[in-house]
Chains A and B, each alone.
Chain A
Amino acid sequence: MTERTREAPVLAVRDLSVEIEGRRVVDGVSLDVGRAEVVALVGESGCGKSMIAFSIMGLLPAVASVETGRILLGSEDLVAFDEEAMRAVRGDSMAMIFQEPVSSLNPLMKVGEQVAESLVVHHGVSTAAAWGEAIDMLRQVGIPEPERRARQLPAELSGGMCQRVMIASALISQPRLLIADEPTTALDVTIQAQILKLMKDLRGLGDTAILIITHDMGVVADIADRVCVMYGGRIVETAEVHEIFARPSHPYTRLLLGTIPKLTGQRKHLLRSIEGTVPDVSEWPSGCRFRTRCPLADDACANVPPSLPVAGDEAHQSACWHLDRLAEVA
């Protein structure tokens, strides 16, 4: 745990499990995000990252449901909230932004109106009354000439600017928690870096805790304070960011990092280059779910699933039975 999470965390997920048609796509996940902390949730496509985010926001797809666990925002357990109560929290004390910045904005609504949306929805003010705040917010996310831009439609803005607008609309209500699901994947590299820097700069404003979802270790290195590595619906390793890069302590993490080329700017789709394919969620192996692709796997791994913390200290946890043989994984 870091300094920030030692005080009560903004978000505490405890033993969260999500099922889709009987399949556990999220299995016993626990994670904390502290005040003004950036936690990255990393893992291959389909490992359940978005399901965790949707559970927190209370908007799982109809086929999915939370089976076990608690999601504490401050001291309140969101799992126990009904839809009405969730709607009051959503977009106000916690907000979420997505990957597709351009199509995530209403094409017929002025940019300024969309930034003001949260104030209109949650605080019953008119768009006109919230206009000034919306323009301030646009300025804070680095949009030049915010007065003019606020009156434009999304089609008149570039992808990078649309992402800034989405961030502005998420942050205008000063949420305690911001979830960003692959916020930069659709953007080109220079803009990516700008957006990441922006998010880092802005979290201080409202002490916003940020949970960023990505499958890009480069993004993790850029922005995160702490990392949770996921595989097959479980968190397999968690540590502070420099720890993860300096002493990766799970075979999966080590393989992930081994696939980052030293050249920045070429780092998309890297997680896919680990040998083997992710097994279908319905047929996870017994014991450790990574064992079908793990170079260290043996019989011990097949029986009892390793869980956090199998080993390591409180700040750096890894769910693996063979920490002693880690050096064998390049």
Chain B
Amino acid sequence: MSALPHEAVAVERPFRRRWWAAPMLPFILIFAAFVLLAIFAPLIAPYEPNVQNLLGRLKPPGAVVRGVTYVLGSDELGRDLLSRLIHGARMSLAAAVLSVMLSGAVGTMLGMAAGYARGWVEAVVMRIVDVFLSVPAVLLAIITVAVLGPGFTNVVLVLALTRWPRYARVAYGQTLSVANMPYVRLARFMGAGRLRILFVHILPNIIGPLTVVATLEFGLMVLFEASLSFLGLGVQPPTASWGAMLSVGRNYVSSAWWIATFPGACLFLLVLSVNLIGDSLRDLLDPKSRTRRKE
């Protein structure tokens, strides 16, 4: 038996749309630039980020002191601001990537478990999510770091601990709706086990909205890490981090504006580009929100 010609139907595949084109391009390039700076920091940075130079303190951008060119100026200990910014990108991105991955994984697992198993698992997990989401996350993070002590690892752990409920909520809602789809039902009728259904049939179908959450969270995590460092609860000196640089720069705003301005600008650019990318991702994956915004 052969199929009739009208059985063949051409269907547009959603992922073929060229969402990255035109308006998003500059922001994608900015983000990519930060990523490259972070990865290759030691190769790109002109000087060692932690080397002090007492003769070159608080020099403005472009100053040359004993053969050392401070492209973006120097800080209160005579360290090259550009080099510290580049190494600071490393801290910001690493903290954000790790905490997003950790909280994303934990939140997704718990949310999927709640949405698929229902019953008491659902009740317990979602109540905890509600509690977490009702406490301001920054406050929670500050308190926890204050208890655990500062440092990069603790910052990542704390960010993951405070942010997993957002993924859990999205994963939960998505799992609820996908679990009732006929294809998940068919998988059960094929004898697929719980894990196979969750990871082969449900997860790929809910990963889109989770990616959007992760992208928007990423920007937030960059800011959180900076805030914690700003308060002295993050990465400890002398390691470079944008938040800590801002914090120090605050004392010199009138005399050496560049110390606070450049890390601030970097933060702004990075978070802005990540958020815009996240927004366009959401529009891409959720046509409803796009029409809403165009109206």
Contacts and interface: CB of A to CB of B under 8 A. Distances in A.
Interface of A: 57, 59, 87-92, 95-98, 100, 103-109, 117-118, 121-122, 142-144, 153, 155-158, 160-161, 166, 169, 190-191, 194, 197-198, 201
Contacts, number: 89
B147 interface: no
Nearest to A160: B7
Interface residues of B, number: 28
B3 A161 contact: yes
Nearest to B14: A155
B186 A156 contact: no
A99 B79 CA distance: 70
A59 B3 contact: no
A107 B4 CA distance: 23
B273 to A, nearest CB: 29
Nearest to A169: B190
Given A158-B7, A191-B7, A194-B1, 11 more contacts: A89-B191, A91-B189, A91-B192, A96-B189, A105-B183, A109-B201, A121-B192, A142-B3, A144-B2, A157-B9, A166-B186
Contacts of B11: 155-156
Nearest to B196: A121
8 contacts: A90-B188, A97-B186, A98-B182, A103-B182, A106-B205, A109-B201, A158-B6, A160-B7
Most B CB contacts (10 A, CB to CB) among A106, A108, A117, A144 go to A106
Contact of A144 (B3, B6, B191, B205): B3
Contacts of A161: 3, 7
B193 A155 contact: no
Interface string B1-38: 11110111111010000000000000000000000000
Interface in B176-211: 181-183, 185-193, 196, 200-201, 204-205
Contact of B191 (A109, A118, A142): A118
Contacts of B186: 97-98, 104-105, 166
A51 to B, nearest CB: 15
B8 A142 contact: no
Contacts of A103: 181-183
Most B CB contacts (10 A, CB to CB) among A97, A104, A118, A143 go to A104
A56 to B, nearest CB: 11
Contacts of B13: 153, 155-156
A287 to B, nearest CB: 37
Contacts of A194: 1, 4
A106 B187 contact: yes
Interface in B152-191: 181-183, 185-191
A52 to B, nearest CB: 15
Most A CB contacts (10 A, CB to CB) among B13, B187, B190, B196 go to B190
A98 B187 CA distance: 12
Contacts of A169: 190
**What are the nearest 5 A-B pairs in CB distance?**
A91-B191, A91-B190, A142-B1, A90-B191, A104-B182
Contacts of B189: 57, 59, 90-91, 95-96
Contacts of B181: 103
A104 B184 CA distance: 8
